[in-house]
Copies of this chain bind each other. A is one copy, B any other.
Amino acid sequence: MRESEECKKILENKAMFKMASPEFMDKLVQSAHLHNAGKGKVLFIHQDTADKFYIVVSGWVKLFRETLDGAQAVVDILPAGHIFGETSIFENDSYPYSAEAVEPSVIMSLPLSLLKQEIEDNPKLALAMLSAMARYRKQQDREIEHRTLQNASQRIGCFLLRLADQEATGPITIHLPYDKTLVASRLGMQPETFSRALGKLKDATGIKVKGATVELKSLDQLIDYSCSACSSEFPCHDLNA
């Protein structure tokens, strides 16, 4: 498939662009580029001047910040389909975090200037973006809630459920990044705490973990365990589209 056709297909499927004008979509497709990013490739640094936003086409991207003390906080680890860097247009055009490919990845880059212009011209896109931001805000609220109310094993279960196809019935396989210390830091845990909690989760629910894949007989194995300590019902309708 040609680059532009592949980009077009991906962009048309993003909820955020459902309300965009055809002219804008044409321009966006024309200026989209696919990049191969090796493991460890830094895409941008926190507070860099932002002129592009990105979509993960395949692989995993880590968003993170560093404190004055030199410690690193992982804001998120994004699988395929996720947009990042787009909120820079509300941050005086500077990135609110750093981004790094943590496995060999394919990344689509898109110009922020186009998005900015279309949001100003097309109230429907602004509304779609507001809805996306409200969803994200709710997810973060829940993340803060879970750090208080869920134990470590429940939080791992919740993280897995969020990576799964939540409509699936029957057996399901969930893919994780290969580097488990990444998942641990995304969940705000020390690697040892993560290992212990994953062991406890396996014992309690019967899920099977083989390297970077997790196998479940059904989602119910995790739902019963994790969702009782959450203020929302499963499925999580507020997940990013």
Interface residues of A (CB under 8 A from B): 46, 65-69, 71, 73, 75, 87, 90-91, 96-97, 119-123, 126-127, 129-131, 133-138, 140-141, 143-145, 147-149, 185, 188, 227-231, 233, 238
Contact between chains at B144 and A90 (CB < 8 Å): no
A97 touches B127 (CB 8 A): no
- In the bound complex, residues from chain B placing their C-beta under 8 Å from that of A71 are 149, 229
Q: Which residue of B lies closest to A150 (CB)?
A: B67
For A140, the chain B residues whose CB sits under 8 A away are 137, 140-141, 143-144
B123 touches A120 (CB 8 A): yes
Most chain B Cβ neighbours within 10 Å, of A122, A134, A143:
A134
B residues near A145, Cβ cutoff 8 Å: 65, 67, 73, 75
Among B66, B229, B238, the residue within 8 A (CB) of A67 is B229
Decide yes or no: A91 and B134 within 8 Å by CB, A75-B144, A127-B119, A147-B147 being known contacts. yes
- A75-B141, A126-B127 as given contacts; A188 in contact with B133, CB under 8 Å: no
Of B73, B136, B185, B231, which one neighbours A137 at CB under 8 angstroms? Answer: B136
- Provide the bound-state CA to CA distance between A144 and B188, in Å: 8
A-B contact pairs, 24 of them (CB 8 A): A46-B231, A65-B141, A65-B145, A66-B231, A67-B149, A67-B230, A67-B231, A68-B227, A68-B229, A69-B228, A69-B229, A71-B149, A73-B148, A75-B144, A87-B138, A90-B133, A119-B123, A126-B127, A130-B133, A133-B137, A136-B137, A140-B140, A140-B144, A144-B188
* Chain B positions within 8 Å of A133 at CB level: 90, 130, 133-134, 137
How close is A68's CB to chain B, nearest CB, in angstroms? 5
Bound form: Cα–Cα A126–B149 in Å: 34
A74–chain B nearest beta-carbon distance, Å: 8
Residues of B within 8 A of A126 (CB): 119, 123, 126-127, 130
Do A73 and B138 touch (CB < 8 A)? no
Q: Which of A131, A137, A185 is most buried by chain B, counting CB atoms within 10 A of its CB?
A: A137
Please give, as numbers and ranges, the residues of chain B lying within 8 Å of A91 by CB-CB distance.
134, 138, 238
Contacts A68-B233, A120-B123, A130-B133 aside, 6 further interface pairs with beta carbons under 8 A come to A73-B144, A90-B130, A90-B135, A119-B130, A133-B137, A143-B144
